[in-house]
Amino acid sequence: MVSNTIAPEELIRKAVIEVAQLPENELLLVIEMVGELKKQRAQPNREKAAALVAQAKIRATETNSLSRVDLMQQFSDVLKEIRAEAIAKGTALDGELEDG
């Protein structure tokens, strides 16, 4: 495994030199491996998205019987909690949250 102390530019340069010296049949393998790595990176996002959708459906079912006023109050409360957490972490945007 390559050390994490190599600068990104140097790492890219080294990878390009190594790959450029490979025979054609091995270049095809490299391309296939890169494709597999891309698929592996994309898969967790699909799984997370599916989990979020499932969670949203459950939450929609739970709040189905609430009035619009109650839903909007819950939404406002959650926004205030998120903002308070962001302020505590120092990641809140400047300015006040506008009530609409």
Rounded to the nearest angstrom, the gap between the alpha carbon of residue 62 and the centroid of all alpha carbons in its chain is 26
Find the mean pLDDT for residues 6-31: 88
Question: Measured in Å, how far apart are the chain's first and last C-alpha atoms?
Answer: 54
Whether pLDDT at 94 is above 70: no
Q: Which two tokens stand for residue 97?
A: 């949250």
Whether pLDDT at 66 is above 60: yes
DSSP string of 11-76?
Answer: HHHHHHHHHHTS-HHHHHHHHHHHHHHHHHHHHHHHHHHHHHHHHHHHHHHHHTTS-HHHHHHHHH
Spatial separation of the C-alpha atoms in residues 79 and 72, rounded to whole Å:
10
Whether pLDDT at 82 is above 70: yes
pTM, rounded to two decimals: 0.42
Q: Tens digit of pLDDT for each residue in 22-63?
A: 888 888 888 989 888 888 887 778 888 888 899 999 988 888
